[in-house]
């Protein structure tokens, strides 16, 4: 039963959209191994280990990574101000590991002659640049979600008709206090997270730079 359950969980991880960030992290880690050592998967088939083969494997893995980042991006695109907490959770759980692994792969690619400035001449560098663009778009969407949080004075929201207690003076005071605390928390969240997102957006732009003529 435990083995069957583990297999089902592994199958879910490979197919369900909610696991897309995790799959992107795993495949970027696999990419490091595939390029650095030539190891790919344990299919039992002997394959020739050449630089061209490693580059081909890299492109294949990066295409999967792009799809998973795009899936994550679609989820963030539908987020609202009220779900800014989810965006903040996604940053340390997925975006930072993806970004860090992408940077490590970028350094490795440069050793093999597939550096950032060869994105238009080497397919692997181009695939990495496209994945970086997807990640940059994701981070920009996260930034946009946090950007919807007001930066001026805390909103003056009317409590509305919830119940007779809320309509009383004491009830209105309580609800207004809660609203102000929530707004303040949103604002502080934006102030903490936005600098990280801005820095990642700036760094990811370098993946599309071309070599000078």
Question: Tens digit of pLDDT for each residue in 185-212?
Answer: 667 667 777 787 888 888 888 887 765 5
Cβ count near 142 (within 10 Å): 28
Report which DSSP code applies to 181. Answer: H
Radius of gyration of the chain (CA): 22
CA dihedral 122, 124, 126, 131 (to 10 degrees): -170
Burial 183-210 (b: 16+ CB within 10 A, else e): beebbebbeebeebbeebbebbeebbee
Is the pLDDT reported for residue 16 higher than 50? yes
For residue range 105-133, list pLDDT tens digits in order.
999 999 999 988 888 889 999 999 999 99
pLDDT digits (tens, 9 = 90+) for 136-188: 999 888 888 777 665 554 444 444 444 555 556 665 665 676 667 666 666 76
Distance between CA atoms of residues 35 and 30, nearest Å: 9
List, as one string, the DSSP characters of 16-62.
Answer: -GGGHHHHHHHHHHHHHHHHHH------S------HHHHHHHHHHHH
Q: Residue 146 CB: number of other CB atoms within 10 A? A: 23
């Amino acid at each position: 039963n435990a083995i069957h359950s583990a297999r089902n969980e592994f199958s879910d991880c490979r197919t369900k959209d909610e696991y897309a960030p995790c799959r992107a992290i795993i495949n970027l880690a696999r990419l490091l191994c595939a390029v650095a050592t030539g190891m790919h998967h344990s299919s039992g088939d002997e394959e020739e280990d050449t630089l061209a083969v490693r580059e081909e494997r890299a492109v294949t893995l990066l295409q999967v990574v792009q799809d998973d980042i795009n899936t994550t991006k679609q989820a963030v695109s539908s987020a609202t101000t009220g779900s800014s907490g989810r965006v903040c959770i996604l940053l340390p759980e997925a975006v930072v590991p993806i970004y860090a692994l992408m940077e490590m792969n970028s350094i490795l690619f440069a050793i093999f002659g597939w550096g950032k400035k060869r994105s238009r001449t080497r397919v692997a560098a181009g695939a990495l640049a496209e994945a970086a663009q997807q990640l940059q778009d994701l981070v920009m969407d996260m930034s946009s979600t946090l950007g919807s949080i007001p930066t001026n004075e805390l909103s003056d929201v009317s409590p509305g008709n919830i119940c007779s207690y809320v309509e009383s003076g004491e009830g209105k005071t309580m609800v207004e206090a809660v609203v102000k605390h929530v707004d303040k928390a949103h604002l502080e969240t934006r102030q903490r997270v936005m600098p990280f997102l801005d820095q990642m957006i700036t760094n990811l732009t370098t993946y599309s730079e071309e070599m000078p003529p």
